[in-house]
Structure 1
Amino acid sequence: MGAVALVLTGCSADSPNAPSGSADGEESPLKEYMGVHYPGVDHREQAIIRADDPGMSEDERNDYRRVEQLVAQCMQEEGFEYVPRSADDQRSDIAEYEEAYSLGPEEFAEEHGYGITTLMFKHDDRPEDPNEEIRQNMSAPEREAYDRALNGEMDTDTTHEAEGHPGELPPEKRGCRGQATAEVYPETADAPVTEQFAGLMSDVASLHDRIRNDPRVTEAASDWQHCMADSGHSDLEHPDEAMSSVLQRMTDLRRSAQDEDSGDMEDGGTSEDLDQQQLAELQEYEVDVATADYACRQEHYNETYREVAFEMEQEFVERHEDELERFRDAIVRP
């Protein structure tokens, strides 16, 4: 579905500034095989997927248009209004993110922090999504029914078990959007290709833990902790906690807004739904933490982490090269 996919950093609590390449530009041994699916990748690369894609082909645009038309038809049958959006609408929505993520990591941290509260709620002057306007004019029960019709049974135990793999749900449980996607993209919609790599992903997670717990890395993390304390963040004990602290505060703020209006902030909402003073304070905190985090990582953590990671990743690649090549061909470069 081309170049319109956007993944915000708030979706991951992995180390946000963990290096994906060496100081001289050498790529991580696993990057070639796993791309953004490896947790050591730089957080700004996760945020914009295929941002350098020149655009959709005519066939991709037609497929996208067909999906939107089918969604609108299905939603009408469910008793709701849905306005089909074009690929250009989606592209304009992420243009501002592409500009932000074109900055260097230090400048990005100083201006946007991790890009969680700062980008997610900063640009409310962009063109409104007509479907979000429809949602916001509904009562909480109506909005819940609308979301269920559009996105399916996202709060079921089945979804939780298949988290991250929507293709594992049958089409009838994926809502109008899932059903439309399954009709237009039948091969990809019904093929949970990641399931066949569950063992590999488990091994990669174990590798990440081994890197994180290597004595050389834990010593560097301790130096990072002292550096952060000197910057006014003595409550943070490990580099993984820096971005996580922003995510947790964001979750608390959204939950507070949800409790106040008994609405649903999980699948929508704008900055107007949040306490403006608290949001501004959180954005300031995010930039402050991210700026200190970047400086402390550069001085005390990243080089050691990179050396250990490259060493262990290379050994991992040598042991799992055949399976990594299959993963790359099926997932990263389909």
Structure 2
Amino acid sequence: MRRTTPLALAFSAVLAVALAACSGSADTAAPKPEDSPLNKYMMAVWGGDLSTDEQQARYDKENKAREQLVAECMAEEGFEYIPNTQSGAVVMASGDEWSPEDREWVAQYGYGNVNFPGRDTPMTDDQVYVDPNEDYVTSLSPSEQAAFYETLNGPQPSAEELDEDGSFEYDWEQAGCYGLAQHEVEEQNPAQSDEFAPLMKSLEEFWTETQESTAFADLDAKWSSCMADAGYPGYDKQSDAQMQFGEELNAYYEDQTEWVEDDPELAELGEKEIEIALADLDCREKTDYRAGYTKVQYALEEEFIADHKAELDALKAAAEQGR
């Protein structure tokens, strides 16, 4: 398994791109995640059908269990470890704070990469990360610290194990106590079990094939022509606009050796993002991209469901029973 986005996140990301791509004018309601035929199953698996408080409680419970397992593993290896119950997973409330289909919102934030709601809001004391193991680790010698982190996270991959892009094959058995703990917690989710492994593999292949499908070709061609007329040529698919800007933003961050407050270069990127996002929104509205994409996407999902309905029903039932 290559260290890339987990399927849970990949599914959410693909669906988010699809629904954002489908967005139209502000007076036309954008599809909601629960509108997707396939997502009616997957929301039960990943907790998308839970309330914000219920999702947060679920993440906190998983984090507590994982950290306790890490502490037990580290103790067996001769190290002290205080479980870090300050979960890094924070469920964001859905609502008006994130409205990438609203023209006023897009005019302020673009796609929400450089600037986004709450970006300049100072963190409260309970949001500031505090490592409960910092004092213990600093009390160790350099060699002991190295042994501590290798026991916790596993050895660093060698140059031979790294791909050109810096990724490497992830093996939880080689990822230290944290890898072991994460594996045990994930096993509680039926989507990670051996029973549903074939279905999850089919799902992953389905989303990959969907993104590469020619079913959206005519729709994307109309959108691409509109973008070219607006002064933004070179985008073959609607998803290219945001993806390519994201790559440009990543390149900016990779070049930074230190954080520059109010960097003019980043501000310029933010302005560019808004310009592209507004043109993208205009062209989606002009080509009725939302309705067209939704029709094709949901038809493909219905085909997948028809071929895997028994497995999907069983997965949904197992996920709901395990709560």
TM-score by length of 1: 0.62
How many aligned positions are there? Answer: 290
CA contact (8 A) 2:43 2:49 kept: no
Residue correspondence of structure 1 range 225-304 to structure 2 within 5 A:
225-257=224-256, 260=257, 272=259, 276-300=263-287, 301-304=289-292
Residue 322, structure 1, aligned to residue 310, structure 2: yes
CA distance in 2, matches of 1:36, 1:249: 35
Q: Find the aligned partners of 2:44 and 2:21 in 1 and give their Cα distance.
A: 12
Cα gap change, 1:60 to 1:278, in 2 (>3 Å): closer
> What TM-score, normalized by structure 2, do the two folds share?
0.64
Match of 1:310 among 298, 311, 314: 298
Structure 1 residues 200 and 333: CA distance shift in structure 2, 3 A:
farther
Deviations 1:189-236 (A, max 9, x none): 9846663225522552365157x412xx32221221122234332232
Question: Could you tell me which residue of structure 2 aligns to residue 129 of structure 1?
Answer: 129
Identity in percent? 22
CA contact 2:153–2:175 (8 Å) conserved in 1: yes
**Which residue, out of 93, 99, 102, partners 1:103?**
99
| Per-residue deviation, 1:256 | 1.0
Q: Give 2:109's aligned residue.
A: 112
Q: Deviations over 1:250-283 (max 9, x none)?
A: 22112212xx47xxxxxxxxxx368822222222
- Tell me, in whole angstroms, the C-alpha distance in 2 between the residues paired with 1:297 and 1:144: 52
| Mapping of residues 184-199 of structure 1, within 5 Å | 187-188=188-189, 191=193, 195-199=197-201
Separation in structure 2 between the aligned mates of residue 20 and residue 35 of structure 1, nearest angstrom = 21
Aligned 8 A contact 2:21 2:238 in 1: no
Instruction: Decide which structure has greater helix share.
Output: 1
CA-CA distance at 1:9 after TM superposition: 11
Deviation per residue, 1:132-173 (Å, 9 max, x gap): 9x7xxx9xxx999987655446855798456xxxxxx44x42
Amino acid across the alignment from 2:107: E
2:20 is aligned with 1:17: yes
- CA change 1:36–1:327 in 2 (3 A) is closer
Per the alignment, do residues 321 and 50 of structure 1 end up closer, same or farther by CA in structure 2, a change over 3 Å counting? closer
Q: Which moved more, 1:287-296 or 1:274-283?
A: 274-283
Change (3 A) 1:316 1:225: same
Please tell me whether the aligned partners of residues 241 and 280 of structure 2 are also in contact (alpha carbons under 8 angstroms). Answer: yes
Q: Structure 1 residues 59, 225: closer, same or farther in 2, change over 3 A?
A: closer
Unpaired stretches in structure 1, ≥5 consecutive residues: 1-5, 38-45, 163-168, 262-271
- Give unpaired runs (5+ residues) of structure 2: 1-7, 139-143
Give RMSD over aligned pairs: 5.1
Deviation at 1:57, TM superposition (A): 9.0
State the SS of the aligned residue for 1:246: helix
Distance, in Å, in 2 between the alignment partners of 1:173 and 1:131 is 23
CA distance in 2, matches of 1:228, 1:73: 56
Equivalence for 1:205 = 207
Task: Give distance in 1, aligned partners of 2:10 and 2:208.
Answer: 25
Structure 1 residues 20, 225: closer, same or farther in 2, change over 3 A?
Answer: closer
Alpha carbons 2:100, 2:111 under 8 Å: kept: no
Greater relative contact order: 1 or 2 (C-alpha under 8 angstroms, separation 6 or more)?
A: 2
Structure 2 match to 1:53: 52
Contact persistence 2:23–2:101 (CA under 8 A) = no
What is the aligned partner in structure 1 of residue 141 from structure 2? none
Equivalent residue of 2:266, what SS? helix
| Greater Cα radius of gyration, structure 1 or 2 | 2
Deviation larger for 283-292 or 189-198: 189-198
Separation (CA, whole Å) in 1 of partners of 2:176 and 2:118: 27
